[in-house]
């Protein structure tokens, strides 16, 4: 009898912990362009807070980049692509259509990644420029298309319904250029946790005292610490399907 009680108790505790873990919203931090060495360095910080993020890589996929991608992937992060020449998809270069865009800007990256078993499921639009036509073409190859918040700059909160299928992830920029304020960001995290929704952010390089469009590691740590205290999950795009959002 005692053993049964203990089992029930342990099972209840396990379920409660699980529910709490899955019930306090989620945040996707995404990082664009390429900062291999600094991204690898930042992994210690991500590990400290049990966080996974997404890296969207620009340019030709060199052997050096493959090594970095493999290391980040095996640390649990998600890898996405960000085009060969950082060309806008909206407007397209003259005389191009989206098929040509895919052939020139995306396919060469995708092929190298597949060859090296990098699990690529997402693409971040250069300069966040997209529309429904570009989405339609790129959804043939990707499950997640990362863009910005549009002109309104209003935070988007995603729930069960939106994350059930392929989706455009509208993210808010973090860095001095985006006039990021850590307290305002914490408020957004708190709202996502309370409503059990997912939010998305984007930045670029990560280092101490970073300016411009980059993520200061001090701010990153403060946000990770806060998200962790709220019981939020910090996930890469490949883990979105495992979230139990409202
Ligand atoms: Zn970029």
Peptide bond into 127 cis (omega under 30): no
> Are the CB atoms for 243 and 237 separated by under 8 Å?
no
**Pairing relationship of beta strands 167-170 and 78-81 according to DSSP bridges:** unpaired
CA 201 to chain centre: 7
Q: What is the pLDDT of residue 22?
A: 53
More confident: 19 or 38: 38
CA 12 to chain centre: 32
Q: How far is the CA of 58 from the centre of ligand 1 (A)?
A: 7
Q: What is the pLDDT of residue 152?
A: 85
Q: How far is the CA of 33 from the centre of ligand 1 (A)?
A: 5
Unique residue bearing structure tokens 């597949």:
114
Q: How far is the CA of 228 from the centre of ligand 1 (A)?
A: 28
Q: What is the pLDDT of residue 202?
A: 98
Surrounding ion ligand 1 within 5 Å at CB are 32-33
pTM higher than 0.85: yes
Q: How far is the CA of 82 from the centre of ligand 1 (A)?
A: 7
Q: How far is the CA of 205 from the centre of ligand 1 (A)?
A: 11
Separation CA 66–CA 64 (nearest Å): 5
> Strand, helix or coil at 58?
coil
> Strand, helix or coil at 241?
helix
Confidence of residue 1 (pLDDT cuts 50, 70, 90): low
> Are the CB atoms for 118 and 74 separated by under 8 Å?
no
Confidence of residue 68 (pLDDT cuts 50, 70, 90): very high
Q: How far is the CA of 128 from the centre of ligand 1 (A)?
A: 8
**Pairing relationship of beta strands 144-147 and 54-57 according to DSSP bridges:** unpaired
Locate the DSSP E strands across 60-205. Answer: 78-81, 120-124, 144-147, 167-170, 172-173, 198-203
Tell me the per-residue pLDDT of 200-239, one tens digit each, with 9 for 90 and over. Answer: 999 999 999 999 999 999 999 999 999 999 999 999 999 9
Per-residue pLDDT, averaged over 111-134, amounts to 98
Q: How far is the CA of 157 from the centre of ligand 1 (A)?
A: 23
Q: What is the pLDDT of residue 115?
A: 98
Q: Which domains does the chain have, with CATH numbers?
A: 25-242 (3.20.20.370)
pLDDT of 8 higher than 80 = no
Confidence of residue 4 (pLDDT cuts 50, 70, 90): low
| Burial class (CB within 10 angstroms; exposed 0-12, middle 13-18, buried 19+) of 154 | exposed
Tell me the per-residue pLDDT of 152-186, one tens digit each, with 9 for 90 and over. Answer: 889 999 999 999 999 999 999 999 999 999 999 99
């Amino acid at each position: 009898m005692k053993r049964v009680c203990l089992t029930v108790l342990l099972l209840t505790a396990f379920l409660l912990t699980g529910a709490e873990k899955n019930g306090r919203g989620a945040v996707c931090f995404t990082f664009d362009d390429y900062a291999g060495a600094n991204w690898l360095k930042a992994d210690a910080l991500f590990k400290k807070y049990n966080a996974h993020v997404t890296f969207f890589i620009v340019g030709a996929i060199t052997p050096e980049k493959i090594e970095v991608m493999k290391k980040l992937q095996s640390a649990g992060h998600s890898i996405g692509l960000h085009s060969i020449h950082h060309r806008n998809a909206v407007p397209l270069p003259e005389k191009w259509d989206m098929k040509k865009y895919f052939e020139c800007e995306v396919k060469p990256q995708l092929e190298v990644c597949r060859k090296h078993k990098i699990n690529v499921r997402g693409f971040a639009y250069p300069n966040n420029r997209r529309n429904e036509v570009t989405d339609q073409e790129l959804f043939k190859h990707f499950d997640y298309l990362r863009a910005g918040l549009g002109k309104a700059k209003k935070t988007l909160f995603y729930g069960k319904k939106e994350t059930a299928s392929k989706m455009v992830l509208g993210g808010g920029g973090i860095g001095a250029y985006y006039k990021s304020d850590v307290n305002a960001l914490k408020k957004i995290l708190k709202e996502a946790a309370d409503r059990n929704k997912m939010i998305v952010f984007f930045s670029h390089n990560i280092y101490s005292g970073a300016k411009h469009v980059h993520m200061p590691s001090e701010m990153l740590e403060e946000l990770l610490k806060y998200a962790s205290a709220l019981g939020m999950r910090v996930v890469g795009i490949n883990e979105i399907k495992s979230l139990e959002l409202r």
